[in-house]
Structure 1
Amino acid sequence: MKKILFAVAISVLCSCNFETRKISSEEVLEQESRTLNWKEVDEYPAFEDCQNFTNLSEAKNCFARQVSTTIYSHLASQQPVVTKSIDDTLFIYLEIDKTGKPQVESIEVDTTVTNQLPDIKNWIRQSIDSLPKIYPASKRGIPVSTVFKMPVVVKAE
Structure 2
Amino acid sequence: MFFFSATLVSCQFFDKKAPSEDELLQNELQKIDWKKVDAFPTVDACEVITDESQRRQCFFEYLTQTIQDKLSVDTLRIFYPEIDTIEVKVTVFPDATLKFEPQFPKDSLAYDKIKIDSILHTKLVDMPKINPAIKRGIPVKTQFVLPVILKSE
Shared fold by TM > 0.5?
yes
Q: Where do 5+ consecutive residues of structure 1 fail to align?
A: none
Deviation at 1:109, TM superposition (A): 2.1
* Equivalences for residues 68-147 of structure 1 within 5 A: 68-78=64-74, 80-81=77-78, 85-87=82-84, 89-104=85-100, 106-110=101-105, 111=108, 114=111, 119-147=115-143
User: Cα distance 1:86–1:98, how it changes in 2: closer, same or farther (>3 A)?
Assistant: closer
Letter in 2 for 1:109: F
Using the TM superposition, give the Cα deviation of residue 44 of structure 1 relative to its aligned residue in structure 2, in angstroms: 1.0
Percent same amino acid at aligned positions? 28
Q: Across the two proteins, how many residue pairs are aligned to each other?
A: 145
In the aligned structure 2, how far is the partner of 1:100 from the partner of 1:112? 33
Q: CA contact under 8 A between 2:72 and 2:151: conserved in structure 1?
A: no
Deviation at 1:112, TM superposition (A): 6.9
Q: TM-score scaled to structure 1, two decimals? A: 0.73
Superposed CA RMSD: 3.2
TM-score normalised by the chain length of structure 2: 0.74
Where structure 2 has 5 or more consecutive residues not aligned to the other structure, the ranges are: none
